[in-house]
Amino acid sequence: MSQLQINTTQNVKIDFTVATVGERMLAFILDFLVFIAYWVFIYIFLEAGRLYDNAQDGFEIKAIHFLLNIPMIFYTLTLESLFQGQTIGKKIMKIRVVKLDGYQTTFLDFLIRWFFRMIDIYLFTTLLIFFNSSLDLIFLCMMFGPIVGFLFLVISKKTQRIGDIVAGTGVVSLKNKINISHTILEEISQDYVPTYPAVIKLSDNDARIIKETFALVRKNRDYSVLIKLRSKIEEVTGIKNQERNDAVFISKILKDYNYYTQNM
């Protein structure tokens, strides 16, 4: 599995496992199943409402088709924008689109990726539509046609398709972020109850410094630095240590910071 290191805007390096070609293809298939479910629903809706029977000519039928397919046309763009780089398929596969330069992904990034799907995934489908090919052939190409994107995923070191390369994005696995000890992240359980709300006065850089210093303190058993670190935290946040010792206090500070910043 390829690994990808992203340097965040707080100058914190986070290592991710790049989503594999198989994971991305499975996510694509799952999203395609959503398309199929939608089309089946629309077909039933059209038949029940007898919209085709009421259409005056072929232009009206094409207009109906276009309007009803708008949700699917903008499916990936809308969901990735709303759900931080995930569609239904990506959510199930636990993968996500991220910006490789460490900045937050924006609507423009998702727009670029969406636009280049016409080349990466729907190139042959677009050509068939342009040349007025049959619906059966178009449907077949939509299912088996993402050959360009697939080839780029295979040959790219970061498993990127053309849209990813142009947008400066990649798709990473959320199943196992690695080297968590080198980041501000802390493992906290879903039922974790925080103690010190005032930790939000800290910045990401503060949390990183605290965590790195705390790790060195425990490694070297340097209790004088531990006391200084606890005192500095109390000074900056106004929090008073309520724990049985300084180590437990600092550990709880880090967990509380993660809890509040991840749920804000």
Helix axes of 246-262 and 204-220: crossing angle, nearest 10 degrees: 150
Which residues contact residue 34 at a Cβ distance below 8 angstroms, ignoring those fewer than 6 apart? 75, 88, 89
Round to whole Å and give the CA distance between 153 and 25.
10
Of 36-40, 83-87, 110-114, 181-185, least confident by mean pLDDT is 181-185
Per-residue model confidence (pLDDT) at position 185:
59
Q: pLDDT digit string (tens) for 186-206?
A: 667 777 888 898 988 888 888
CB 149 within 8 A of CB 162: yes
Q: What band does 133 get if pLDDT is binned at 50, 70 and 90?
A: very low
d(CA 208, CA 232): 14
pLDDT at 142: 54
Residue 238: its pLDDT value, please?
92
Q: How many residues does the chain have?
A: 264
Amino acid at position 200, single letter? I
- The average pLDDT across 91-98 equals 92
From CA 142, how far away is CA 105, in angstroms rounded? Answer: 27
Pairing verdict, β 3-7 and 95-99:
unpaired
Residue spans of the domains in the chain: they are 3-178, 185-262
Question: pLDDT tens across 2-17, in order?
Answer: 767 666 554 555 667 8
For the chain, what is the mean pLDDT?
79
State the Cα–Cα distance between residues 126 and 134, nearest whole angstrom.
12
Rounded Cα–Cα distance for residues 33 and 84 (Å): 21
pLDDT at 252 over 50: yes
Q: Residue 144: pLDDT band by 50, 70, 90 thresholds?
A: low
